[in-house]
Amino acid sequence: MLNFPLITYFGVVGSVISTVLSETAVTSVQLFYVRKTLNLSMIFKGKWKYFFAGAIMYGIVRYANSIFPGKIYFFGIEVFIGIIIYLILIFILKAPILTLANNLISK
């Protein structure tokens, strides 16, 4: 419904906007219907750590992108930098996924 007008006016960015709005609407409706069944505060516990790590990683990779020329191998370096930064921050922040991974490994 939103795709056609947004793509017409904004091109690829319009498609991105439409997709994000659609996914947000679907997720909101799903959370609304399961709010009494699931403990939503438990689901979102610790999510700020992932968001924070992602935001810091984005800033660093964005800065690296402005320094490196637009070559494909520099893109690979940026991806590698992003992965390393994200993993380091997840360990520093002690994100809940570390406990889950440890439980899976120790079984």
State the pLDDT at residue 60.
Answer: 94
CA–CA gap between residue 29 and residue 52 (Å, rounded) = 25
State the pLDDT at residue 71.
Answer: 82
Residues near 37 by beta carbon (within 8 Å), at least 6 away in sequence? none
Rounded to two decimals, the pTM is 0.67
Least confident of 13-17, 46-50, 79-83, 95-99: 95-99
pLDDT tens by residue, 6-63: 889 999 999 999 999 999 999 999 989 988 888 877 777 888 999 999 999 999 999 9
Nearest Cα neighbor of 58 from 34, 27, 89, 28 is 89
